[in-house]
Amino acid sequence: MTVYKIVIVDDHYVVREGLKLILETNEQFQVIGEAEHGLEALPMIQKLQPDVILMDLNMPVMGGLETMQELKKQGSQVPVIILTTYNEDELMISGLAIGAKGYLLKDTSRENLFRNIESAVRGETLLSADLMERVIAAKSQEQSAAAAPQASSPLSEKETFILQAVARGYKSKVIASDMNISERTVKAHLTAVYNKLGVESRSQAVAVALERGLLDI
């Protein structure tokens, strides 16, 4: 059995302990390190080389976004899952744009925690429909308040439609059925989207498109 090594970075002791207790109920996961902020986490991550990092966003000394940017500069390939609360939508969008593999509310279920970690280890991004709705709503509200016109899109009509469906949490198979095209064609369109936006995953594509005002949701 493969055991996945995890580092938890969060300034709240109770959160770290709670996550550890949950993870310890599954023999497939092992917490090998924990840190209160990014500055403490960076050398730890480099030394321990975990399989996954659970990263808080709001931390003293060095927050989650700055830590992720530094990991990216260092060429780290360790997937990061953002730990978030109900009032961090903008930070969450930025984290996904940097390359986070997913995001979890700190009161998430045991099953959802395991599922997100397993997806991240496989190099996949697990988009939660309810959280994406929150992110989209927050971004739409911000753009309306600023009265910003929608940016000229580099994406085709089909690419935009597919990315909007992805943002709402639909899988490639469902999108293909709705558009009456093959799942392979949907994936080809998504690859084109990644290339145009300079991203590597669904979550990054959605986050960058939202930041640029390319999605009309």
Provide the CATH number for the domain around residue 93. Answer: 3.40.50.2300
Residue 150 has pLDDT above 60, yes or no: no
Distance, in Å, from the CA atom of 143 to the CA atom of 42, rounded to the nearest integer, reads 35
Residue 112 has pLDDT above 50, yes or no: yes
Using 50, 70 and 90 to split pLDDT, how confident is the model at 25?
very high
Average pLDDT of the residues in 45-69: 95
Contact, 186 vs 176, CB < 8 A? yes
Residue 141 lies in a domain: no
Distance, in Å, from the CA atom of 102 to the CA atom of 32, rounded to the nearest integer, reads 20
Is residue 153 domain-shared with residue 119, that is, in the same domain?
no
Residue 173 lies in a domain: yes
Residue 133 has pLDDT above 80, yes or no: no
Using 50, 70 and 90 to split pLDDT, how confident is the model at 117?
very high
Residue 172 has pLDDT above 70, yes or no: yes
Using 50, 70 and 90 to split pLDDT, how confident is the model at 88?
low
The neighbour count for residue 22, using CB atoms within 10 Å, is 15
Greater model confidence, 85 or 149: 85
Using a pLDDT cut of 70, give the percent of the chain over it: 84
Reading the block at residue 13, the tokens are 């002791």
What length is written for the chain? 217
Distance, in Å, from the CA atom of 216 to the CA atom of 209, rounded to the nearest integer, reads 10
Residue 69 lies in a domain: yes
Q: What is the dihedral of CA 179, 131, 198, 211, to 10 degrees?
A: 110
Contact, 215 vs 167, CB < 8 A? yes
Residue 184 lies in a domain: yes
Is residue 108 domain-shared with residue 179, that is, in the same domain?
no
**E strand or H helix at 54, and its extent?**
strand 52-56
Greater model confidence, 109 or 138: 109
Greater model confidence, 138 or 45: 45
Greater model confidence, 9 or 137: 9
Is residue 169 domain-shared with residue 202, that is, in the same domain?
yes
Residue 144 lies in a domain: no
Average pLDDT of the residues in 181-191: 93
Range of the domain at 76: 4-126
**How many folded domains does the chain comprise?**
2
Residue 137 lies in a domain: no
Using 50, 70 and 90 to split pLDDT, how confident is the model at 147?
very low
Residue 98 lies in a domain: yes
Instruction: Report pLDDT for 129.
Output: 59
Is residue 179 domain-shared with residue 100, that is, in the same domain?
no
Is residue 117 domain-shared with residue 163, that is, in the same domain?
no
Using 50, 70 and 90 to split pLDDT, how confident is the model at 206?
confident
Using 50, 70 and 90 to split pLDDT, how confident is the model at 99?
confident
Is residue 20 domain-shared with residue 121, that is, in the same domain?
yes
3-state secondary structure of 154: coil
Is residue 16 domain-shared with residue 111, that is, in the same domain?
yes
Is residue 167 domain-shared with residue 118, that is, in the same domain?
no
Average pLDDT, the chain: 85
Distance, in Å, from the CA atom of 121 to the CA atom of 195, rounded to the nearest integer, reads 23
Distance, in Å, from the CA atom of 187 to the CA atom of 163, rounded to the nearest integer, reads 11
Is residue 122 domain-shared with residue 154, that is, in the same domain?
no
Instruction: Report pLDDT for 126.
Output: 65
Is residue 121 domain-shared with residue 156, that is, in the same domain?
no
Residue 191 has pLDDT above 50, yes or no: yes
